[in-house]
Structure formats: structure tokens, C-alpha cells
Structure 1
Amino acid sequence: MFKLNLKIALRNLWKNKGFSLINIGGLAIGLASCMILLLYVAYEWSYDKQFSNHDKTYVVYQNMKASGKTFSWAWTPNVMAKEVQEKIPGVKYASHTTYPRKQLITVGDNKINSTAIFADQNFIKILDYKFLEGNSAKALKDVNTIILTKSFATKLFGNEDPINKMVKLENQEVLKVEAVIEDAPANSSLTFECIMPWALFEKREAWVKEVNWGNNMCLTLVQLQDNNFFTAANDLMHGIYKRNQKDNLSVALLHPLTKWHLYDEFVNGKSVGGKIDQLKIFLLLAFCILLIACVNFMNLSTARSERRAKEVGVRKAIGSTRNSLINQFFLESLLITFIATVLAFILIEVSLPYFNSLLDIKLTIDYYNGQFWLTLLGLMILTGFIAGSYPALYLSSFEPIKVLKGFTLKADSSVSVRKVLVVGQFVFAASLIVCTAVIYQQLNFVKNKPIGYDKSNLIQIAVAGKMNDAVKLELLKTQLLESGAASNVTFFSTDFTEGGDNTTGVSWEGKNPNEAISFNHRTIGYDFVETIGTKMVSGREFSAKFPNDTSSVLLNEAAVKMMGLKNPIGKVITFWDKKLTTVGIVKDFVVESAYQRVAPMIFRVNQRDDARVMIVRLNPNQNISSSLGKIDDLVKQMEPNYPVNRKFVNESFEVKFKNEKLLGSLSNWFGGFAIFISCLGLLGLALFMAEQRKKEISIRKVLGASTGNILVLLNKDFIKLVAIANLIAFPLAYIIVNKWLSAFEYRVSISVLPFIAAISLSVIIAILTVSIQSVKVAKANPIDALKYE
């Protein structure tokens, strides 16, 4: 019986090539879209889960109340790991590590700015990276040693065995390669190219040895013996700061490693979400697109009901049961789903390189993974049964006597079901149009919002090696200005577009001693205001003309407002027990999140080796390429042992919008697919309605109706469906975008434009789709439909 049903299914597909192509194409696009989104969700979901005991591993977070709200971050003091290991019951390992940062590693003439971390031995016990060479039990014990990742070892030594070879760190320390490990996975929160001992970090930076509970400078990881210890351990963590420093009001907590990437947003000291919210959107999008493709199958199959009616009648007349017919139609559905899946794989393999480029990741299909094939099989069967359920039940219900006497479709409940399905499709499509429009409005609003400085033609150069000297930096500044490549040069203590140092150690006359206020603090060079293109609100900026500026301070507008200073110029503030006089107020400018309000900032003048980057304003009257060449040459002359590490500030600023651009791009692409598939569903209903009303249309034509009259008649009902869909979609879309926008302090107001765009697009799409079939019906010869009457 199965063989016979399969033959019938194949013959039907071959006989109705146009129908088969539309059906298979719609399902293939739906399946491909769903699978790409599921691949992305699975990739993000698997973050930090590649380690053996990932479920027992935690990141130590610090909650600090300041400025009327609670700040949460995974930065902790250097003494945290030791305290946790010794004082918290149930802890198997506690480790501290620096966050990945650039370090120069040299082998002969091969100089590479690698991403490196300093860590203790417990780090490689908690995160058990696979050792390809070397002894994991002895690794990181000796001070002057280094562990390389496989790819970095190849960069340094090619195909040579790197074990016991020597490398040089920052042209100073000679280190022996003691092990090679597998590369840190891309879906890991910590990615690096080499690991060096924490003892080497202490050797190079003497301050690291100091016991300081107020200096949050590293990451602390904790692995419990068993998760039964979690509640007790976490309770004890809450008071760890106060137990070690009486006036320290910070609270520590254990945040699961597996949630570090996805649940990184905290409100009032508690994790409330993060990227997981984006994944939920994509997961919903994936299944909605697949559901829309299944609805198309239902509509297109039932649209052909009159053509299949006689087949059903004959088969029932010669003894086929309804169950056997249901099996026949389900088999056809599964066959189409199988062919669509094969086509979907071709679409995925062709499109994955583009999406990998768009997402800046490397999604691949693991064809050797049994779980993948089981998931795919389940998805195929589910799709086949959902898509084939309504056609199978509907078509198998035809009565043979009525069919063989002369079957006429009736406007029964089945038509209403199809209308409901089409309305559902366009509810989803209209919601996507509104959401995508608002995402782009928000992105453009924030990108075009004044940021307080001019980021065009502004570059920053990392200060390294011999450049890390105040005298040489001033010499390099003079050379850059004299070369004509730069119009202004200054210095900054951190990456200009990223977060950095903050403190609550600031007081002033009139401050509430019981209130903690968080300030961002940076050191800057002379000519800072003019170089970045901001303005002084009052007072002056730092200048070499004022030698006492080492005891001066600049505030931004947000700091003045937070401190409640009416006449700030000349006011004395205490910064880390040092008295500083306010000499100027700088206009607020964005250095961290472009979506949040500018934080209070304190600026001090660069001293000794405070500068981490040199900020250069390119000369607008010179060719940019030649200017960059001159700058690179001068930097190399100053420090030939380091590669020049420079970047444009506007490029760094664009990174801030990565998540929103990703959300907008994916919504745009897959929203387009959803709309296209919805059009196929509308086409299915149009086919059905045209087939149902062809005699009515023929009679109208005989009585004098024009083609235009017929088009208006047929389109009117579909426009009503689309209008109803939009009325349902608008409140849903408003709720969704309003919730999404609530996460931003700077946000666009929800206007009527996205809703007008949604209804206009959906109506135009509906009219074009339906008219394709309607014109064909309207121009048909009425004799063909009426000759049997």
C-alpha cells in the first residue's frame, strides 16, 4: 500500500509542476529560514558550555550602590579568589585572571600583538581546555612560562614543535613555551591566544601584590564541589566585602558561567536578561516563519480541492477508507517536506557565508552529529504533519456520490478557516514590518544624536614600549604636528570609546557622607578639548602654561549636576584623599553607551605613564592615506619593536550598535522571507476563491461586467482580510516595540509612520499577489465555466 501511495504522490507532483514548485519552494524557504535561525540560537545558547563542569562554575559579580542605582559588573579585587577558596564552604576551585588584552609576543623577527591573559593554575582546572602538548598538572607553576593556543603556536613557529622554545613578552621577559592547548572556542566569553602565570603579572606590576578590596581589577571564577552548596556559598558571598573592609558596602554574588553571555543585564543587583531576549525573538521568528510555510501548504492544497475531488470520489467508490486517504495525503505532505528539506540544505549552504559575515561568527552544519539528524528528522515530520493535517482531513471528507454527480465547492467553514490562516500570516508580517521600522528608527536616532564631539578624521594610537614615557610622547606629538599629518594631538588614559575607570572615592563640600556617587575618571593630555572637537562650558582646559594643573580637575556637565554645584569653577573636591581645584567644565560627550545618559566624569591631567592612547585629529587639508602613512612612520621610528596599533574612532563607535544592527538586519531579512511566504499563502486563497467563484464571475461577465469590475470584486475581500490583520497586528507590535525601547534611556518615540508603512505595504503586496490570479480569471472565456449548465 505504501508503494502505491508513493507512486500516486510522485505522479501528482509531476503532473502539477507549477503547484509543486510553489509548494516546495515556500516550504524550502520556510525550513531554510527556520534552520539558519535555529543554528544561530543554538550557537549563542552553547556559550561557555564546552567545559566539563560548566554547570558548577560561577563568575563572581559585584553589586555596588551609587548615584541612586545599583551597578553590577564582573570585576573583582585581586584578593577575592584566595578569600573565596579559603573561607567559602563547598568551593572546589577559585581562580583569578586578567581580562584579555593585547601583549606583544616576539619570536625572532616575528612580532605579534596577541590577545593574552594572566591566570593562576586553578584557571585551567576550572576551564579545562584540551592540552595538545605539555603537562596540564605543571602548567603555570613556573614564573617565566607561557601556554599557547594551537593557532597562535602556528603563527609563531609554523610547523615546528613549539614546546621548550623561547618567546619574548613586550621585548622584556623571556618565556618558555610549556604547553599548547586547543583554541578557545569562538562561543566562549573568554577568547585569547596565550596564557601566562599570575606570578609573572605580579612580577611585572608590583601593585598587583597589594591587598586592596577597593581595586576591582580582575575576573574571579569559582567552581563548586556540587551545586547543593550554591545557596549557602552565595549567601556567604554577599558579605565578603564588608567582612574584609568595614566601610565597603559592595555585595558579591555568584552568577552562573552558562548565563554570563546571555543574562548579562542587571537591574537592582539581579540578573533580568540580556542577549537571551534577542534569542527568544529569533526563536519565535523561526517557528512563525515555518508555521507560515505550513499554512501555505494547507491553502495551496485545498485550493486544488476540486481537481482532487473526483480522485477521492473514485477511490472511495472502489473501497478506499477515509484513513487510507488520510495516509495518502500525509505521505504526499511528507514527500514534499523531504524534497523541500533537501532544497533548504542547498539554500542554507549557499547563504551561510553571507550570514556568517553579517553576524561576524562561523555557523556550520555538523553533518556528523547524531543529535542534529534527530532534530532535523523531528522537524521534518512535524512540518509534514502540520502542513498536511488540514488538507488530509478536508479532502478525505468528500462524499463519493456528491463528487461523482458533479462536485461544486461551497462557501462552508473551510473557507473561513483559510481566511483565518491568511489573516494570521499577515498579522505576523505586519508586526514584523512595524518592529523592523522602529528598530531602524531607534538605530538612526541614536547614531544621529549629538555625541558631544566630532568623531570624523579622529584616530587613536595605542601607547606601547618606549612610547610609554611622558617626554617621548610629547616629542612624538611635536613630530606629528610638524609633519602636517595631524592638526591636533592629545592623550587619554583608556580606549576612547570604551568603558574604563570609575570610583566612588570623590567628595566635596555639601556632599551627603552616607551617599555613594559613582564617577568615571580619566586622565587627559593638553589640547584635549580642541582635539576631540568638544567645547568648554566654562573655565579652561589643562595647559602647559599652568604647571599647577597636576592639582587641578575638569568636570563634565553631568558631574556638576550630580554634585549640585552652582558655581563650580574654583571649587575644591577630594579625589582619593587628594585635594583638586576645579578649573573647567567640559560639555558632556559619549565615551560608553550611546543609549544611556552620559555618566558624571572627572578629568585629571596626564602624569608620568598615565596615557594609554594617543588621540590624533587628521589634518583635513591633507590626503588621509598619506597622513596615515606619515603617522605610522613616525610611530615606528619612536618604537620600532611594536606594530603600530591604530584605529579610527568612528569605526570603534560603530561597534556600540552591533546588537541593534544585527537585530535589525535579521528582522529585515527573515521578515522579508515571512512576507514572501505569506504572499504565497494569499495566492493559495486567491486560487481557491477564484475556483469557487468562476461560474459567478462568468455570469457577471455575460451580464456585462468589465475586467476592472471583476478585479475590484475579487480584491475587495482580500483587502478586508489584510486590514483586519493589521488591526490585530498593531496593538501587538506596539506592545513589543514599547517593551524593547524601554531598555534605552535615549529612545525614539513611537510614531504612526511604521504603522502607515505596515498597512500600505501589506495592502500593496496583497493587491499585487491577488491580481496575478484575478486577471487570469477575469479574462477567461465565460463559456468554459458555463458550458455544462
Structure 2
Amino acid sequence: MVFLNLKIALRNLKKNKGFSLINIGGLAIGMASCLMLLLYVSYEWGYDKQFKAIDRIFISRLNININGKLATTIATPDKLAGTALQSLPGIEQVSRFSLSSDNNKLFSYGRESYKLSGSFVDPSFLQIFDHKFLYGNAATALNKPNSVLITAATAKKLFGNQNPLGQSIKYDNRKFLKVTAVIEDLPKNQSLQYDALLNWDFYTQEHPESRENGWGSITCMTFFKLKDKSQFAAVDAGLRRMIKAHDEHTQLEAFLFPFAKFHLYNEFTNGKPSGGRIDQVKLFSFLAFCVLLIASINYMNLSTARSEKRAREVGVRKALGSTRGSLIGQFIIESVLLSLIAVIIAFGLLELSLPYFNNLLNIAMEISYNAYPFWLTLITLVLLTGFLAGSYPAFYLSSFTPIKVLKGFTGIGKSSLPVRKILVVLQFSLSICMIICAIIIYSQIQYMRNKPLGFSQNNLVQMNLEGEWRKPEKLELFKAELKKTGVVSSLTEFAQSFAQNGEITGDFSWPGKAKNDKSVIDFRSIGYNFSATIDAEILKGRDFSPKFVADTASIIVNEALAETMGISNPVGKMVRWGDSPLTIVGLIKNFSNERVGTKALPTFFYYNVNRSNVLLMRINPEENLSAAVNTIKRISQQLNPSYPAEITFVSDDMKGHMKNEQLLSVLSNFFGGFAILISCLGLLGLALYMAEQRKKEISIRKVLGADLKSILILLNKDFIKLVLIANVIAFPVAFIFAGNWLKSYDYKIAIAAGPFILAAVMSLCIALLTISMQSFKIAKANAVDALKYE
């Protein structure tokens, strides 16, 4: 029976080529879109899942009590690791992971020199996170301070095809490290990324001041591997008490968080997980379901549009003894067959578009043909889509009474019309909702791009201060040479990369500060001419200048800090940072360089070139940008030949802050467009159905003198009503979704009527165009053809 049904299904596909092409095309586009979204969801969900003991690996997060509200960070005191290992019995391994802003250093071998990301860890890091070793092993890879573990790509860069084990690498052009292990390149969907791993003892050699760090110095991430995951509650409770036990005045509380959730649950509100990338994953999962649902509804509409042609077949088969169950099986098999053909085409589309998406999103998604979850998902998708798409046509068509359909089709199918209209309304509601949200997301991105940041990112570049630039006289010579060429109009030192987060302190006080005030303040080291270089406005007072030798004991505060202190004119006021008295000499306007769309944090700036790691340069606007950058590199190479000058544009780093928003915008636009396309096919199906139902009515109207215009209006007005109803349903749903998404931004657009009006106009125009194509064909048809049998 199955083979017979399959044979009939193949004959029907061959007989109705046009119908089959539209149906398979709609399903293929829907399935390709669904598969692409599911592939991305799988990629995001797969972060860090390659580690065998992932269910026993935890990261310590830190809650900071800021006047009763908790802020959460990944930085922890470096004392936490050793103390926890000694005092908490449930811990098997613990390791620190450096968060230093100067992890990118020069690694050299012979004539080959590259800036690489080298992170400092305890040797136990390799016992917590398993890697595939090409050379060496986890037990001995980092057992000495001068040991270094590198990735295969790093080994290829430095050593070519030779065995790197035992070779010496020059670090920062100063010290030699011995290569003790080489591991496979890290997958892109791994949270911790590095080109090399170095021993933590080497970190303390490089930063001897870190040996004096107290419990308030949060400088690293801390990872734990528990003996058993059931020990979580006990270890977490001990960790929460630990910092308080060593510092009774602390504002800090450490706690355990599953590393398996580290990537997806990266946002916290008042010390509790509040979402993050998981919200995006959920959204794309829902979007995948919606696109598949729209494609399935489209199939239902097109299938039942052919009800008259299939009705007599059903009547004859029932008269010859076929049961309703066998007929349902027939239509489900047809649907599954169409679904199978569609999924094959969908995979072709997926393979063609995958490189584009990987390049667009800067990720490395791939289809794992040798993995059983892939084939299980594929089979499930084919069967689910086949059943979902074929269920309504199967139950509807198999319900026809033989005697009625064999006497004539008149009246058959009228009861299905409300259901089909509901399906079209559902299709368009989902599509319109996606269009509105896509427009609002795009508008928010444009708003953030165009909103004044408080500084000018155009022509602003930066480079790391390393090598010869650590010598004050050499740095001053370099700056003088740059100014002499005229390519740079202003320059200054800065604490770290301008678009990155910096350091914080809770040990900052001012006149009138309440005893119970536990404000946490950001601070950054800068050089002279800071405001002129970044083009920020000094509202009161002045910037640091070589004319004032006392500026080493002065600070500049931003508006947010002045507001926190409750001082409208802070210039001239004395404050304290730890035991050091400082004088406020300037009030700078708030600027947003470390995050986009959120308010500036209370921050003060102090003059200390030795604590600055970056040189910010404002390129002369009259100079050619690329020529100016080449000039900077040339002068740098002359004065600091051991270190290749890497010039980066601050504007490029600022774009990285909106990566998630841009990703959401691209995907919502892309798949929203496909949803509209598939919905139009569904509308075409309803138009075909209505044409079959009203063919004789239209012919009679034409015989009685109706003109083309009145017939087109008659045919189109019912469909326009459906699209208008879909808009009414979609508007509140889209408003709620968009409103919830915008809540995460301090600076955001107001949800205006524009996106809703635009979506309504787009949907109506697209619907009119789709329907009119079929309506015009019906209206122009010869009335004799429809009435000659009457």
C-alpha cells in the first residue's frame, strides 16, 4: 500500500508541474531559512561543549555591592584560587586566567615576529580544560615559569613545518620562553581564545607588584573543576563567605557559575542572571519555527486550492472501497515526499549561502554530515514538515462524500474557506511582525551610530606602547617626530585600548560623602592634551598640561562622577583616592567610548604615563588617511625597529560594540524577507482557490456588463481585508517584542508610528501585487469557457 501511494504521489507531482514547483519552492526556501537559523542556534549552543568535564567546570563571578545594588563582573582577586583550593574540599582543580590589558605581546623566532594573544594561567588550567596535544602533554606543558604552550597556527607562523618542541621563543623582545607543547587550534565557538598560554609564575615576574595584591584587587578570572557536580552548593556557599572572611569591609562576594552557561548567560541584574546571548538564541529558535510554520501554511493553502481537481479522485477511490485512513495516508505521503525533495533543495541553498553567512558573522558554522544529531534533526524536520504541511489537506480532502463530488463540485470546500483565511491571516501577521521589528532594530542601530558620543572617532587611531616606547625620552622623540611631519594634529597616552573597559576602585572619597556610600568609580590614566586628542569638551577648568608640574596630584572628572558626588562645580575641590589627596582641575563632558547605547559611568582621569599602555593620535584631517598611517608606521619602525607598528582605528573598535545588534538586524531583515515571499505564495494559493470558487460568478457578471475595474475590485477587496486584519493582530505583538528589546538601552528611539505604517503599506502593496496577477487573469478570461456547460 505504501509503494502504491508513493507511486500515485509521484504521478501527481509529474502531472501538476507548476503546482509542484511553487509548493516545493516555498517549502525549500522555508526549510533553508529554518536550517540556517537552527545551524546558528546550534553553533551558539555548542560553545565550550567540547570539554569533557564541562558539567564540573565552573567560573567564579563577583558581585560588587554598589549602594545596595549588585554589579556582576568576571574579574576576581588572584588570592581567591589558592585559598579556595586549600579550604574547600569539594574542589579538584583551580586555575587563574589573566585579564591584563597587555596580553597581546610580540613573540619572535629568528626573523619571524608576530603580535599574539598570550594568556597567563596556572598549570592546573590544562587539567580543567582538555586540549588535543600535537606535541607535549598536559602534565608537563606549563610546569616551569619559562614554559610556553602554543597553538598549531602559532607554531606554523613561527616555525613553519619544523618541530617546535624545545625551541626558544623571544617574548616581548626581552625574555626567552621554551616551547613545551603544541595544541590543535581552538574552535571559534570557544569562549576563551588565545594563541599561547604562559605560566602564572612568569606573570608575577613580569608584574612583581601583583604579589602585593590584596583581596580588593580584582585582576583575573578564576576557574574551578569540582570533584563532583553535587559539591556545587557547598563550594558556592564557601566561596561566598571567603572574601568577607579575609576583608570585613569588602563590597565583594564571589560565587560559582556553570561555565557551560558562561557564553549564553552573560548579563546579570542585581547579582542574578538576567539573560544575554541566550535571548538572541531563543529569538532565532522562535524565528526558525515561524518561518517553517509559514512555509507549512503555504503548502496547506496551495494544496486545498486544488480541492476541485482532487475531489473527484477522492470520490472515485472511496466508491471503489478506499477508507478515509488510506486516503489520509496517501496525502501525508505526498506531503512527506514534497518535504523530502524540498529539504534536498534546501541543503543546496544552505551550502551555497553558508560561506556568505560565516563571513558576515565572522564565525565558522559548518554542517556535520558525520554526526548523528544532524541526521536525526534532518529526519525529524522532514517528517514534522511533511505532517504539519499535509495534515490539514489530508483530513480536509479525505472528508469529501463520494456521491456529492461525483454529482458535481458545487458547494464543496466552502466550509474550508474560513480556515484558509485564518491561515493566511496568521502567515501575514507573523511576516508583518518580523518586518516591524526589523525596521525598529535598524532604526535603533542608526540612532546609536548617529548619536553624538561626546568625542570624535573619525581620524582617531591608536597603537600599543611597547619596546622603546617604554622609555620616556624615546616616546617624547617619537611624538615630536610625528608632530614635525604634520600627519598628527594631537596625541596623548591612555590606559588601555580606547574602546575597552578599564579599572575600577571603591576607595575614592570626596567632601560630604556619606559613610555608608559604597560607590564604585572607574579610573583611567591619561597623558597631556587628552581632551583635544579625542575632541571632548572641557566644561569647567582645564586639561592636563606640561605647564603645570602639580598635575601628577590632580584629576579630571566627568559629569557622571560630579553628579555622583553631588557637586555642580567640582573644580578646585579636594578628594582622596586611597591615602592620596588629589585636586580636581577639570570637568569633562560625558563621552561613550566603552559601550554604546548606555550612560557614561562615573570616571576620573589622572596623569600617569607609566600606567598608560596606548598612544592615541588624532590624524590631521587635511592629510590622506592611509598615507598618514604609513608615515606613522615608518617613523615607528625607525625608532622602535623590533616591534611592528600596529595602528588600529578607534571607529573599527566602536563598531564591535554593535556586533550583536548588527547581527540581529541582518538576520531579521533576511529571514523576514523570506517570510514575506513565502506568505505571498500562500496568498496566491488562496487567490487560486477563490478563482475556482467564483469562476462562474465572474463570468455571469461579465455577461451582464461588469467592466474589468469592478471585477478586480470585487476580487481584491476580500484579500485586502485579510491583510488589514493581519496588520491589526501584528501591531500589538510587534510593539511588545520591540519594547522589551529596547529596554536594555539607556539611549533608545521612541517606538513611533512610522515602522507600523511602513509595514502596513509594504504588506498591502505586496499583497495587491500578488493577488492582482491572478485576479487579472480571471477577469480577462472568456466567459463562454466557464458557462458553456450550463
Name the TM-score class by shorter chain.
Answer: over 0.9
Give the structure 1 partner of residue 733 of structure 2: 732
Instruction: Quote the Cα distance in structure 2 between the aligned partners of 1:701 and 1:606.
Output: 89
Q: Does 1:381 align with 2:383?
A: yes
Q: Which amino acid aligns with 1:779?
A: K
Q: Does 1:510 align with 2:512?
A: yes
Give the structure 1 partner of residue 342 of structure 2: 340
**TM-aligned CA deviation for residue 69 of structure 1:** 3.0
Once the two structures are superposed, what CA deviation does each residue of 1:706-755 show, in whole Å capped at 9, x if it has no partner? Answer: 11111111111111111111111111111111111111111111101111
1:422 corresponds, among 418, 421, 424, to 424
- Structure 1 residue runs of 4+, over 6 Å off? none
Instruction: Quote the Cα distance in structure 2 between the aligned partners of 1:430 and 1:179.
Output: 55
**TM-aligned CA deviation for residue 192 of structure 1:** 0.8
Q: Which amino acid aligns with 1:3?
A: F
Instruction: Quote the Cα distance in structure 2 between the aligned partners of 1:645 and 1:141.
Output: 33
Q: Which amino acid aligns with 1:4?
A: L
Instruction: Quote the Cα distance in structure 2 between the aligned partners of 1:659 and 1:183.
Output: 25
- Within a 5 Å distance, the mapping from 1:286-297 to structure 2 comes to 286-297=288-299
Give the structure 2 partner of residue 356 of structure 1: 358
**TM-aligned CA deviation for residue 330 of structure 1:** 1.1
Give the structure 2 partner of residue 12 of structure 1: 12
- Within a 5 Å distance, the mapping from 1:54-453 to structure 2 comes to 54-66=54-66, 69-99=69-99, 101-410=103-412, 412-453=414-455
Corresponding residue SS for 1:284: helix
Q: Which amino acid aligns with 1:89?
A: P
**TM-aligned CA deviation for residue 183 of structure 1:** 1.6
> Contact (CA 8 Å) 1:126, 1:223: kept in 2 or not?
yes
**TM-aligned CA deviation for residue 99 of structure 1:** 3.5
Once the two structures are superposed, what CA deviation does each residue of 1:678-698 show, in whole Å capped at 9, x if it has no partner? Answer: 111111111101111111111
**TM-aligned CA deviation for residue 67 of structure 1:** 5.4
Give the structure 2 partner of residue 753 of structure 1: 754
Moved more, 358-367 or 225-234: 225-234
**TM-aligned CA deviation for residue 358 of structure 1:** 1.4
Q: Which amino acid aligns with 2:646?
A: N
Give the structure 1 partner of residue 668 of structure 2: 667
Instruction: Quote the Cα distance in structure 1 between the aligned partners of 2:220 and 2:629.
Output: 35
Once the two structures are superposed, what CA deviation does each residue of 1:424-454 show, in whole Å capped at 9, x if it has no partner? Answer: 0111011111111111111111211111111
> Contact (CA 8 Å) 1:301, 1:391: kept in 2 or not?
yes
> Contact (CA 8 Å) 1:302, 1:395: kept in 2 or not?
yes
Give the direction of change, closer, same or farther, for the CA distance of 1:476–1:68 in structure 2 (3 Å limit): farther
Q: Which amino acid aligns with 2:260?
A: T
Give the structure 2 partner of residue 636 of structure 1: 637
**TM-aligned CA deviation for residue 471 of structure 1:** 2.3
> Contact (CA 8 Å) 2:720, 2:764: kept in 1 or not?
yes
Once the two structures are superposed, what CA deviation does each residue of 1:214-243 show, in whole Å capped at 9, x if it has no partner? Answer: 111111001111121111211221121111
Q: Which amino acid aligns with 1:346?
A: G
Instruction: Quote the Cα distance in structure 2 between the aligned partners of 1:520 and 1:99.
Output: 16
TM-score (norm 1): 0.98
Instruction: Quote the Cα distance in structure 1 between the aligned partners of 2:339 and 2:568.
Output: 72
> Contact (CA 8 Å) 1:75, 1:217: kept in 2 or not?
yes
Q: Which amino acid aligns with 2:471?
A: D
Paired positions, count: 788
**TM-aligned CA deviation for residue 700 of structure 1:** 0.9
Instruction: Quote the Cα distance in structure 1 between the aligned partners of 2:495 and 2:473.
Output: 16
Give the structure 1 partner of residue 658 of structure 2: 657
> Contact (CA 8 Å) 1:306, 1:408: kept in 2 or not?
no
Corresponding residue SS for 1:585: strand
Give the structure 1 partner of residue 488 of structure 2: 486
**TM-aligned CA deviation for residue 357 of structure 1:** 1.2
Instruction: Quote the Cα distance in structure 1 between the aligned partners of 2:644 and 2:326.
Output: 74
Q: Does 1:520 align with 2:522?
A: yes
Q: Does 1:50 align with 2:55?
A: no
Instruction: Quote the Cα distance in structure 2 between the aligned partners of 1:24 and 1:470.
Output: 70
Q: Does 1:723 align with 2:724?
A: yes
Instruction: Quote the Cα distance in structure 2 between the aligned partners of 1:256 and 1:409.
Output: 62
Instruction: Quote the Cα distance in structure 2 between the aligned partners of 1:56 and 1:415.
Output: 56
> Contact (CA 8 Å) 1:596, 1:744: kept in 2 or not?
yes
Any stretches of 5+ residues in structure 1 without a counterpart? Answer: none
Instruction: Quote the Cα distance in structure 2 between the aligned partners of 1:76 and 1:360.
Output: 30
**TM-aligned CA deviation for residue 628 of structure 1:** 1.1
> Contact (CA 8 Å) 1:89, 1:229: kept in 2 or not?
no
**TM-aligned CA deviation for residue 663 of structure 1:** 0.4
Instruction: Quote the Cα distance in structure 2 between the aligned partners of 1:249 and 1:534.
Output: 33
**TM-aligned CA deviation for residue 410 of structure 1:** 4.0
Once the two structures are superposed, what CA deviation does each residue of 1:131-157 show, in whole Å capped at 9, x if it has no partner? Answer: 221122112111111111112111111
TM-score (norm 2): 0.98
Instruction: Quote the Cα distance in structure 2 between the aligned partners of 1:240 and 1:148.
Output: 34
Give the structure 1 partner of residue 786 of structure 2: 785
Q: Which amino acid aligns with 1:762?
A: S
Instruction: Quote the Cα distance in structure 2 between the aligned partners of 1:323 and 1:729.
Output: 37
Corresponding residue SS for 1:218: strand
Give the direction of change, closer, same or farther, for the CA distance of 1:67–1:528 in structure 2 (3 Å limit): farther
Any stretches of 5+ residues in structure 2 without a counterpart? Answer: none
Q: Which amino acid aligns with 2:334?
A: E
Give the structure 1 partner of residue 546 of structure 2: 544
Instruction: Quote the Cα distance in structure 1 between the aligned partners of 2:415 and 2:63.
Output: 59
Instruction: Quote the Cα distance in structure 2 between the aligned partners of 1:672 and 1:89.
Output: 56
> Contact (CA 8 Å) 2:75, 2:99: kept in 1 or not?
no
Q: Pairwise CA RMSD of aligned residues?
A: 1.2
**TM-aligned CA deviation for residue 264 of structure 1:** 0.8
> Contact (CA 8 Å) 2:66, 2:251: kept in 1 or not?
no
Instruction: Quote the Cα distance in structure 2 between the aligned partners of 1:151 and 1:620.
Output: 39
Instruction: Quote the Cα distance in structure 2 between the aligned partners of 1:622 and 1:223.
Output: 55
**TM-aligned CA deviation for residue 210 of structure 1:** 2.3
Corresponding residue SS for 1:591: coil
Give the structure 2 partner of residue 593 of structure 1: 595
Moved more, 596-605 or 205-214: 205-214
Instruction: Quote the Cα distance in structure 2 between the aligned partners of 1:587 and 1:130.
Output: 50
Give the structure 2 partner of residue 648 of structure 1: 649
Corresponding residue SS for 2:65: strand
